[in-house]
């Protein structure tokens, strides 16, 4: 439209059209300068979840920091790769930080490094969409996707049969100790006889129970390929985690003793994610 008016002003010599074209051109220049300035002084960080599985959608935290001292950042869109839905930050005040979430589907197990991220903005009036590529240094580990399977007969190292108490709270074990009632304690765990002798409710702490330890060896897991065997191993490790069952891992040259707990389970999954990569 501005160009058409400019040609019309040249052909007709109409001063009013000249003034109108000058105002439009000035407005375009100002909007371009504001749009470019809107992308300056921004920093982006990614926050990955502890568990990311191959081919499974996962939410990634996005932190946008406006390092400018005075001007806010407006209508900033952040995208990673070719994902169709960027995260929008309508307003980030000067010197502050806003957080959002980006839905990603990452493929391929193992470590993944992200060295750049795209930001763009339609500010101030959607005349232009300005974009900028920011350098970042973010890393995550993608685990093999779990695939249900039965544990191989040769993978379990058997201790004496039966359930064993572990040193943490549970819902089904023997009474470990008695404590005073706290908000959120299950009513079924109230020790009514002991509570009747005191002015306060007494609640039973039950020891968690775990089954016999399970040894997982990817080489012995069912599957036609290495990836299928690794997916089976991940499923078995996660299953033991849900059942509070000690699980160990056998790899060529490495042996991780059976244990329980989330940190132990994540350590085993990290080793499976990098298995055969080096």
**Domain of 235?**
146-162+211-278
pLDDT at position 54 over 70:
yes
Model pLDDT for residues 108-157, shown as the tens digit of each residue: 999 999 999 999 988 887 777 888 999 999 999 999 999 999 876 644 44
Residue 49 CB-half CA count within 13 A: 16
- Cα dihedral angle (118, 122, 128, 134), rounded to 10 degrees? -20
The DSSP secondary-structure symbol of 137 reads E
Model pLDDT for residues 157-215, shown as the tens digit of each residue: 443 344 444 444 444 445 557 767 666 567 677 777 777 777 677 777 765 555 688 99
pLDDT at position 267 over 80:
yes
Does 229 or 164 have the greater pLDDT score? 229
Check whether residue 158 and residue 232 sit in a common domain: yes
How much is the average pLDDT of 26-52?
Answer: 85
What is the rounded radius of gyration, in angstroms, for the C-alpha atoms of the chain? 30
CB 59 within 8 A of CB 49: yes
Check whether residue 243 and residue 153 sit in a common domain: yes
Check whether residue 258 and residue 158 sit in a common domain: yes
Residue 131 corresponds to which tokens in the numbers above? Answer: 């974009």
pLDDT at position 251 over 80:
yes
pLDDT at position 21 over 90:
no
Q: Which regions of 122-237 does DSSP assign to beta strands (E)?
A: 130-142, 164-180, 202-210, 214-216
Check whether residue 44 and residue 131 sit in a common domain: yes
Check whether residue 24 and residue 129 sit in a common domain: no
pTM above 0.85, yes or no: no
Q: Residue 29: what pLDDT?
A: 72
Question: What value does the mean pLDDT of the chain take?
Answer: 80
Check whether residue 199 and residue 252 sit in a common domain: no
Please report the DSSP string for 200-262 in residue order.
S-EEEEEEEEE-S-EEE-GGGS--SSHHHHHHHHHHHHHHHHHTT--EEEEETTEEEEEE-SH
Q: Residue 159: what pLDDT?
A: 37
Q: What is the tally of structural domains in the chain?
A: 4
Q: Residue 195: what pLDDT?
A: 72
Check whether residue 184 and residue 254 sit in a common domain: no
How much is the average pLDDT of 4-13?
Answer: 56
Q: Residue 155: what pLDDT?
A: 41
Does 245 or 189 have the greater pLDDT score? 245
Residue 120 corresponds to which tokens in the numbers above? Answer: 């763009």
pLDDT at position 244 over 60:
yes
Check whether residue 231 and residue 175 sit in a common domain: no
Token look-up 């040769």 returns 154
Residue 27 corresponds to which tokens in the numbers above? Answer: 């407005």
What whole-number distance in Å separates Cα of residue 6 and Cα of residue 190?
84
Domain-terminating residue out of 111, 142, 173: 142
Check whether residue 154 and residue 114 sit in a common domain: no
* 50 backbone φψ class: left, alpha, beta (φ>0; ψ -120 to 50): alpha
CB 111 within 8 A of CB 71: no
Check whether residue 46 and residue 131 sit in a common domain: yes
Q: Residue 185: what pLDDT?
A: 65
Check whether residue 63 and residue 124 sit in a common domain: yes
Q: Residue 160: what pLDDT?
A: 37
Share of residues in the chain with pLDDT > 70 (%): 74
Q: Residue 239: what pLDDT?
A: 92
Q: What is the CATH number of the domain that holds 125?
A: 2.60.40.10
Check whether residue 172 and residue 194 sit in a common domain: yes
Domain-terminating residue out of 189, 210, 231: 210
């Amino acid at each position: 439209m501005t160009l058409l008016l400019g040609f019309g002003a040249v052909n007709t010599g109409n001063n009013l059209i000249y003034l109108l074209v000058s105002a439009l051109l000035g407005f375009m220049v100002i909007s371009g300068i504001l749009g470019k300035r809107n992308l300056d002084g921004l920093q982006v960080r990614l926050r990955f979840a502890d568990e990311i599985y191959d081919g499974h959608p996962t939410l990634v935290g996005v932190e946008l920091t406006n390092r400018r001292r005075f001007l806010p950042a407006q209508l900033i869109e952040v995208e990673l790769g070719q994902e169709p839905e960027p995260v929008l930050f309508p307003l980030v005040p000067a010197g502050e930080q806003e957080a959002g979430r980006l839905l990603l589907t990452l493929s391929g197990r193992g470590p993944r490094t992200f060295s750049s991220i795209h930001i763009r903005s339609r500010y101030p009036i959607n005349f232009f969409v300005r974009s900028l590529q920011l350098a970042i240094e973010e890393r995550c580990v993608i685990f093999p996707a779990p695939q249900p399977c039965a544990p191989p007969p040769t993978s379990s190292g058997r201790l004496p049969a039966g359930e064993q108490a572990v040193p943490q709270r549970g819902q089904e074990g023997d009474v470990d100790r008695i404590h005073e009632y706290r908000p959120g304690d299950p009513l079924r765990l109230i020790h009514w006889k002991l509570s009747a002798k005191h002015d306060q409710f007494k609640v039973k702490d039950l020891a968690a129970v775990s089954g016999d330890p399970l040894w997982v060896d990817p080489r012995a897991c069912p599957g036609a390929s290495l990836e299928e065997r690794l997916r089976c191993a991940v499923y078995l490790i996660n299953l033991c985690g849900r059942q509070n069952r000690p699980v160990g891992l056998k790899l060529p040259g490495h042996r991780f003793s059976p244990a329980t707990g989330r940190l132990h389970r994540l350590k085993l999954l990290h080793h499976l994610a990098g298995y055969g990569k080096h």
